[in-house]
Amino acid sequence: MKPRQQRMLAVGLAVLGIAIAAGLTLRAFEDNMMFFVEISDVVAGKHPSERNFRIGGLVVGGSVHREEGSLDMSFEVTDTACTVPVIYSGVLPDLFREGQGVVAHGRMGDNGVFVADKILAKHDENYMAPEVAESLSKHQQDIQAAVARGTEGCNPDDS
Amino acid sequence: MWTWFHKLASPPHFYRTAAILSPWLAMPGLALIAWGAWQGLFVVPMDYQQGDAFRIIYVHVPSAYLSLMAYMIMATSGAIGLIWRMKLAHAVAASAAPIGAAFTFLALATGSIWGRPMWGTWWEWGDPRMMSELILLFLYFGYMALRSAIDDTAKADKASAVLALVGIVNVVIVHFSVEWWSSLHQGQTVFKKGTMDAEMKTALLIMILGFTLLFGAMLLRRIRTEVLYRERRTRWVREMILSPEGGS
C-alpha cells in the first residue's frame, strides 16, 4: 500500500469510528436529546415524575378557557391520539392558537393535569399566503376534526 | 487529464485564477441578493400565521445553510490536505473557517430574533437544533484558536484538519436534529414539496444562490491573502511584488 492510500484509510477509519462513537452516545442519551415528551408517552406514564419536563402537541380546538380578569387559563393538548389537560397562568406567545403546535414546560399534577409554568408556540414547516390558507381551510378543518376527536384512538399501552 | 487539477493546485496559478474568478461570483451574487431581498421583503405575500415576521427567513435559511456548507468545505479541504499533502487545500480550510463562523453567528442571531415573538423565547437550552448549531459555532472558534496557537504552519494545518474532521459528526447532527428528536425548531421546508408558497420559495432559492455566490467570492479573496502570506518567502511572490505592476 502506498503511503497516500494508508493516509486515506486512516482518515476514513477515523471519521467512521467517530461517527459510530457519536451514534452510540446519542442513542444512549436519546431521552435527554428530546426537547419535549409526546402526549401518548405522558398518558402512558413515560415521563419524569420528580422534575419538570416539557410536553409537546396540538392545542385542542375549543378547549381554551380563560378566567375573567386574570391570566389563569386552561386548555387541552393532543397528539391526535391522546389528550392531556393543561393549566397555565401567564403571557402567551403570538403563535399560540387552537389547532396549533405548542410546547409546555412544567410538571404533572396528581390529578392528571399538567401544570405549566412556561408556554412556547411551535411553528410547523408550512409557509403560505393568507388567501391560500383560507382556500385550504377544508384541509384545515380535517386537522381540526382530528384534533377535536381527542382521546378516541388513545392506546397508551401499546406505544 | 489531471493536469488542470495540478495546475490549479499550484499557488501562483491559483492566486491569479482566483483574482479573475472572484468578481464573477461577487457581482451576480450581490445582484441576486439585492433582487431576492427586494422580493422577499416587499413583494411576496406575508405568511398566514406569522405575518411579516416570517421574512427573516430570507437571511436565516441561507446563513444556516452556508454555516454547514463552509464547515464541509473546511473539513473536506483538511482531509485532502492530509491525504494528498496539498498545501493549497490547507489554505482553503484556513480561509473558510472565519466566514463559516460569521454565517453560523448570523443564523443563530436571526433565529433568536424570530424565536422571541414566534416561539415566545430568545433561546432554549436543551433544544437539539439550537444546541448543535451553537456547538458548530464553538467548533469554528476552536478550529481558529488551534490554528493560531501553533506557530509551525505545517503542524497547525495537520492538527486543525483532524479537529475539522472530528467535527463533521456535528454537521450531520445539525442537519438531522429536527428529524431524529423532538425539537422546538420546525422541520425541513425548502426541499419538501407543498410546504411553501411558490412565490415565497422562489425568492428564498434566489437568496440561497446569491449568498452562495457571495460566499464563494469571499472565500476566494481570503484564500488569495492566505496563499500570499504562506508563500511570502518564495520567488514568485517576490518577483510579482517587484514587478512594474506591483502585483494585483
Q: Give the total number of structural domains in chain A.
A: 2
- On whether both A15 and A43 belong to a single domain, the answer is no
Contact A128 B197 (CB under 8 A): yes
Q: What ipTM, to 2 d.p.?
A: 0.79
Q: Give the total number of structural domains in chain B.
A: 1
Domain limits at A7?
3-32
Q: A128 contacts in B (CB within 8 Å)?
A: 47-48, 196-197, 200
Neighbour count for residue A147 (Cβ, 10 Å): 24
- Residue B244 corresponds to which cell in the numbers above? 512594474
B3 assigned to some structural domain: no
- On whether both A24 and A52 belong to a single domain, the answer is no
The model's pLDDT over B163-199, given as tens digits with 9 standing for 90+, comes to 999 999 999 999 999 888 888 898 888 777 778 888 8
Task: Decide if B181 touches A, using CB distance below 8 A.
Answer: yes
State the best of A46, A118, A123 to mutate against chain B, taking most chain B CBs within 10 Å.
A123
CATH number for the domain that contains residue A65: 2.40.50.140
Q: B197 contacts in A (CB within 8 Å)?
A: 127-129, 132
The model's pLDDT over B76-96, given as tens digits with 9 standing for 90+, comes to 999 999 999 888 999 999 999
Which of A4, A18, A124 lies closest to B84 in CB terms? A4
Segment 109-128 of chain A within 8 Å of chain B by CB: 118-128
B6 assigned to some structural domain: no
Task: Decide if A56 touches B, using CB distance below 8 A.
Answer: yes
Q: Indicate whether A151 pLDDT > 60.
A: no
CATH number for the domain that contains residue B98: 1.20.120
pLDDT on residue B171: 95
Contact A132 B48 (CB under 8 A): yes
Collapsing DSSP to helix, strand or coil, B147 comes out as helix
Task: Decide if A51 touches B, using CB distance below 8 A.
Answer: no
pLDDT on residue A143: 59
Termini Cα distance of chain A: 52
C-beta separation of A85 from A76 below 8 A: yes
Q: Is B103 exposed, middle or buried (0-12, 13-18, 19+ CB in 10 A)?
A: buried
- On whether both A25 and A73 belong to a single domain, the answer is no
Which of A30, A95, A125 lies closest to B188 in CB terms? A125
Q: For residue B229, report the phi and psi dihedrals to the nearest 5 degrees.
A: -65, -45
Average pLDDT over residues B190-215: 89
Contact A127 B120 (CB under 8 A): no
- On whether both A138 and A97 belong to a single domain, the answer is yes
pLDDT on residue B62: 96
Domain limits at B233?
21-237
Residue B234 CB partners (closer than 8 Å, separation 6+): B11
Average pLDDT over residues A26-54: 83
Q: Indicate whether A74 pLDDT > 60.
A: yes
Residue A6 CB partners (closer than 8 Å, separation 6+): none
B12 assigned to some structural domain: no
Please spell the DSSP secondary structure of B16-61, one letter per residue: HHHHHHHHHHHHHHHHHHHHHHHIIIIISPPBTTTBGGGGGHHHHH
The more confidently predicted of residues A136 and B100 is B100
Contact A128 B182 (CB under 8 A): no
Q: Indicate whether A24 pLDDT > 80.
A: yes
Instruction: For helices A3-28 and B57-84, give the axis angle rounded to 10 degrees.
Output: 140
Q: Indicate whether B25 pLDDT > 90.
A: yes
Contact A33 B120 (CB under 8 A): no
B144 assigned to some structural domain: yes
Of B106, B109, B127, B111, the residue nearest B184 (C-alpha): B127
- On whether both A28 and A64 belong to a single domain, the answer is no
> Per 3-state DSSP, what percentage of chain B is helix, strand, and coil (rounded to 5)?
80, 0, 20
pLDDT on residue B156: 95
Q: B124 contacts in A (CB within 8 Å)?
A: 35, 120
Q: Indicate whether B248 pLDDT > 80.
A: no
Q: Is A142 exposed, middle or buried (0-12, 13-18, 19+ CB in 10 A)?
A: exposed
- Nearest-CA distance A13 → chain B (Å): 11
The model's pLDDT over B34-76, given as tens digits with 9 standing for 90+, comes to 999 999 999 988 888 888 888 999 999 999 999 999 999 999 9
- Nearest-CA distance A109 → chain B (Å): 23
Segment 14-33 of chain A within 8 Å of chain B by CB: 14-15, 18-19, 22, 26, 30, 33
Average pLDDT over residues A134-148: 60
- On whether both A28 and A40 belong to a single domain, the answer is no
- On whether both A28 and A75 belong to a single domain, the answer is no
C-beta separation of A121 from A93 below 8 A: yes
Q: Indicate whether A109 pLDDT > 80.
A: yes
Contact A36 B126 (CB under 8 A): no
- On whether both A24 and A41 belong to a single domain, the answer is no
